[in-house]
Structure 1
């Protein structure tokens, strides 16, 4: 079975400053995002195979508002534009009125920029409220499918859908496995730091669990030049201990395993290529 590849297309520098309380919002790093997109698109053209040269980009709305030409370019190149919320905020702690407003704002910005209907959604950090259904039902009002649910098997997805009374709303999970008792997801830093053979076993486990194997990545993982890092000057208002801590933590995201990622990803894709855009697969998605 061919791999699915999606990109959580976000500006980590902007989002990290928001998470750390350094600003509410500000300029995105447009040059870095453009370069990341060119690198990702070139990789897909070289390694995606006959059907997998197109992928799904879950984009934050703030990028569409500040750099609409980039979203337009991604869409014009044939990739799917999907929604990754407006800001890269954890939804699970937010009031439903904020969720509704941010979903509507993001969808409108992405559609205005791309000129296409945005069908898919993924919550930032996969953090959407799963204790009661109001946030998911709001997602259903705006979108045709969701990819915010890490799960170990299809039965878990079916049980969740029934418990939340989501009907037949399509959910495309990210596989959640375990290594030495610790949960991991098939993508992001986990994929960068795993040996290729371990990642391949995880892909096989996802297939055995009844999932179409799905890898997710981010723009900053396709570069090792630190273009999304927060500088020491930007971190200074945090105070010395926190500024040092977050300086070290950034190494995981912006350096460790980044240079080898394209080679590892090409190895995992293999001869079969990628499966293409998620919206093309929606009719096949089941519990």
Structure 2
């Protein structure tokens, strides 16, 4: 909402419900193996009780920046400050220092890979980089930041092309809800073939089926720009389509991919 001039608001009830569903799923289907939750500093401050519960339940709390902002639009000085504030906010809520980071909307493009040097100052593992192997080879990416940084391990997101490269599909988010379980499986197998960890990333709203995260039209009207009303109707993309397929798809993927636990465990393998 910040991008349309409205301060973000937290839907406490929906977030708690979503966490309960995820935590129950981890107990029943993941043999109680834990999950990484990426959270913003805003959430850490306003819902510190939920973050404390997540940490107490044994899950990992990673950092998802201060606000859900596009990092490439900010200066390195501003980025460094926001990373520091976000990391401290999560520590205050959980009593555990976060070691993993993911940029909001994977907003560290190749043209701004200098940002990873700022991330390296605060975290040990990052999962923000989307590798477009249609433009550059794996070897080309590996010769530059973040893969050349000494103190930061990168676990990238690697899309797979479908329909003559017209669709570059990731194994998460809207793609996870919109497309078939077989296509998601293909994306994950593609990552394995390339030597990358296959990742599934989902948001709290992905798990809920009754539009609990729907934002009222009054919040969009508050932006006082007619064009932003389009975003009101676009919410159906995030909170209204494919949500009922999420858990069945996860169950299907678990037949072929064993959940390895929180992302920080990858630090032990490096």
**TM-score where L is the length of structure 1:** 0.85
1:178 aligned onto 2:158: no
- Note the C-alpha offset of 1:157: 4.1
Would the aligned equivalents of 2:36 and 2:262 in 1 still touch at CA under 8 Å?
yes
**Alpha-carbon displacement from aligned partner over 1:201-233 (angstroms, at most 9, x marks no partner):** 221111111112111110010002212111122
SS in 1 for 2:195: coil
Aligned to 1:39: 21
1:216-227 matches, cutoff 5 A: 216-227=201-212
Query: Structure 2: 5+ residue runs without aligned partners?
Result: none
Would the aligned equivalents of 1:147 and 1:174 in 2 still touch at CA under 8 Å?
yes
Residue 168 and residue 72 in structure 1: after superposition, are their counterparts in 2 closer, same or farther (change >3 A)? closer
**Alpha-carbon displacement from aligned partner over 1:151-178 (angstroms, at most 9, x marks no partner):** 247535413337x852362101112211
Would the aligned equivalents of 1:133 and 1:165 in 2 still touch at CA under 8 Å?
no
Aligned match of 1:195 in 169, 177, 180? 180
**Alpha-carbon displacement from aligned partner over 1:221-278 (angstroms, at most 9, x marks no partner):** 0002212111122222346853542222111100110011111111111265311011
1:233 aligned onto 2:218: yes
- Note the C-alpha offset of 1:112: 0.9
1:158 aligned onto 2:138: no
Aligned to 1:139: 119
Q: Bigger CA drift: 171-180 or 119-128?
A: 171-180
1:62-101 matches, cutoff 5 A: 62-101=42-81
Matched pairs, number: 264
Task: Give the Cα–Cα distance (whole angstroms) in 2 for the partners of residues 239 and 224 of structure 1.
Answer: 30
SS in 2 for 1:142: coil
Name which structure has the greater RCO, CA cutoff 8 Å, separation 6+: 1
Task: Give the Cα–Cα distance (whole angstroms) in 2 for the partners of residues 20 and 211 of structure 1.
Answer: 36
Aligned to 1:256: 241
Would the aligned equivalents of 2:37 and 2:60 in 1 still touch at CA under 8 Å?
yes
The structure in which a higher percent of residues are strand is 1
Aligned to 1:119: 99
1:22 aligned onto 2:6: yes
Would the aligned equivalents of 1:119 and 1:143 in 2 still touch at CA under 8 Å?
yes
Would the aligned equivalents of 1:175 and 1:214 in 2 still touch at CA under 8 Å?
no
Task: Give the Cα–Cα distance (whole angstroms) in 2 for the partners of residues 189 and 109 of structure 1.
Answer: 28
Task: Give the Cα–Cα distance (whole angstroms) in 2 for the partners of residues 249 and 159 of structure 1.
Answer: 39
1:107 aligned onto 2:90: no
SS in 2 for 1:259: helix
Task: Give the Cα–Cα distance (whole angstroms) in 2 for the partners of residues 132 and 264 of structure 1.
Answer: 34
Would the aligned equivalents of 2:120 and 2:151 in 1 still touch at CA under 8 Å?
no
- Note the C-alpha offset of 1:150: 1.6
Residue 156 and residue 59 in structure 1: after superposition, are their counterparts in 2 closer, same or farther (change >3 A)? farther
